[in-house]
Amino acid sequence: MAPFPSCGLVLRVQSLSCAVLAATWLFGPAALCADQPAQATPREPVISEAKQDANGLAVHGVRSPYQAGQTLIKILQPDRPPPGKSLRTLYVLPVEVGEDIYWGDGLLEVKRQDLHNRFELLCVFPTFSHLPWYADHPSDPQIRQESYLLKVVLPFVERCYPAKTEPDGRLLLGFSKSGWGAFSLLLRHPDVFGRAAAWDAPLMESRPVPYGMGPIFGSQENFEQYRISTLIRRRAAEMPQGALWSKRPRLVLLGYDNFRQHHVGVHQLLDELKIPHVYRDGPQRKHHWESGWLAEAVECLVAP
C-alpha cells in the first residue's frame, strides 16, 4: 500500500504563536496546528496527518468552519498505485452521522470487493457532524455540508493524493440520503463532477419533511435549491439538449428496496427531457451498503 502523505500541510508546533507565525495552510495562513487544543471552530480548515486505522485506511482528522466539531476524511488507495499516474476519485458518500454504521460501511465494502484495485480508484469517505443531506443550511454556518465537501474535502484530496482534477476523474456514489447527495452535487456542479450513481434513494421527495431533512435544509425555499426534480428541469432548460451530458450518461440510477417509485419517477422525467442516463429497475435488495448492489454501481460509473 502507498504511504500516507503528510503533504507539508500540518506543522506540529507547541504554541499558538508558532502556529500564527509559521503555519501555511491549504486555504490560507494562520491556521491552528492539528495538535493544538481547539478553543472554537477554526476560521480555516485544520487537517491532521494521516493515521492508519485497524482496517488499513488512512484517516485524517478535520476541523473546519463548515462542520460542528471534528470530522474525518478516510482514504482507500489501490494496493499498488501505478507510479506517476493520477487516479479517478470515487467519493463514497455516507448515509449516517459521523462513523455510525447501522446501514453498513460503504468504504469497507469497496475494500472487501477489491473495487479500488480492480478499477484503480482512489476512494474517499468524508464524515459529517450532522445527518448528511449534502446541503448548506441557510443560517447555521456549521451545517454547510456542500461547502465542506467542495471547499475542504475535494481540494485536500487533490493536493495530497494522486487524484485527477478534471470532472471525469471525480465520481459520486451513494444510496438513500447519499444517493440524493450524489445526484444533487452533480446536478448543481456539473463542471466539478463527472458522474453520479444513486441506489434506492428518495429522489422525488418534494418537501424537506421526512428522513431528518428539516434540520439540514432549514426551509422549503432552501430545499428547492437542492430538489432533484427541480435541478433536472433547470439543467435541461439551461443548455442545448444533451450538451450538459457530453456523449455518455452521467447519471446512474440503480435498483431499489424502499424507494422504487422515486427511481421510476426520476427515470421518467429524464426520459421526458431526453437526458441520457443509466437505469436498471432492480433487483430489489436490502436497504444496506452490503446487500450486493455496490459493484454494479461502481462498474457503471467507470464504464467507458
For each of the domains in the chain, give its residue range(s) and CATH number, in order of start.
44-302 (3.40.50.1820)
Q: Quote the CA–CA distance of 188 and 283 in Å, as a whole number.
A: 29
Tens digit of pLDDT at every position of the chain (304 positions) = 555 555 644 433 222 222 322 232 333 322 333 433 444 566 889 999 999 999 999 999 999 999 999 999 999 999 998 899 999 999 999 999 999 999 999 999 999 999 999 999 999 999 999 999 999 999 999 999 999 999 999 999 999 999 999 999 999 999 999 999 999 999 999 999 999 999 999 999 999 999 999 999 999 999 999 999 999 999 888 766 555 555 679 999 999 999 999 999 999 999 999 899 999 999 999 999 999 999 999 999 999 8
Report yes or no: 27 and 89 within 8 Å, Cβ to Cβ. Answer: no
Cα torsion angle, 58, 63, 65, 71, sign: positive
Output the pLDDT for position 27: 34
